[in-house]
Amino acid sequence: MTPTQLRAFACVVRLGSVKAAAQELHVSEAAVSMHVAQLRKEFDDVLFKRTSSGLAFTPGGLRLASRAVEILGLQDRTLLEVSQAGHGKRVLRVAASNLFAEHAAPGLIDLFASRADDLQVELSVRAAARLPSLLASRAVDVAIGPASSSPVPSLALKPFLNYEVVAVVRRDHPLAGAPVTAERVRRLAWCLGPSAAEAEGVVPAMLHRIGVPEKQQQIFQSDAAALEETRGSDGVALAVKFSVAGDLAAERLVVLSGPGLRAQDSWVAMALPEHAQTPAASELLRFITTPRATQAMVRGAGVNLGRFRPAVYVTLWS
pLDDT exceeds 60 at position 317: no
Q: Both 178 and 271 in a single domain?
A: no
Residue 115 falls within a domain, yes or no? Answer: yes
pLDDT exceeds 50 at position 32: yes
Q: Both 256 and 199 in a single domain?
A: yes
Q: Both 89 and 182 in a single domain?
A: no
Domain CATH for 225: 3.40.190.290
pLDDT digits (tens, 9 = 90+) for 195-224: 888 888 899 999 999 999 988 898 888 899
Three-state DSSP class for 69? Answer: helix
Q: Both 88 and 22 in a single domain?
A: no
Weakest-pLDDT range from 146-160, 249-263, 270-284, 304-318: 304-318
Three-state DSSP class for 209? Answer: helix
pLDDT digits (tens, 9 = 90+) for 19-30: 888 988 889 989
pLDDT exceeds 50 at position 306: no
Show the domain range for 127. Answer: 84-161+266-316
The set of long-range contacts for 67-72, using a CB threshold of 8 Å and a minimum separation of 24, is 68/6, 68/7, 68/9, 68/10, 68/13, 69/10, 69/136, 69/137, 69/138, 70/138, 71/3, 71/6, 72/3, 72/6, 72/7, 72/10, 72/137
> Across-strand partners of 314?
123
Q: What per-residue confidence (pLDDT) applies to 53?
A: 59
Q: Both 287 and 248 in a single domain?
A: no
Strands 119-125 and 312-316: parallel
Count of domains forming the chain: 3
pLDDT digits (tens, 9 = 90+) for 124-141: 888 888 898 888 888 899
Average pLDDT of span 111-116: 85
Q: Both 8 and 103 in a single domain?
A: no
Q: Both 153 and 270 in a single domain?
A: yes
Domain CATH for 59: 1.10.10.10
Separation of alpha carbons 310 and 296, rounded Å = 18
Residue 77 falls within a domain, yes or no? Answer: no
pLDDT higher at 52 or 225: 225
Q: Both 291 and 148 in a single domain?
A: yes
pTM, whole model, 2 decimals? 0.69
Q: What per-residue confidence (pLDDT) applies to 312?
A: 43
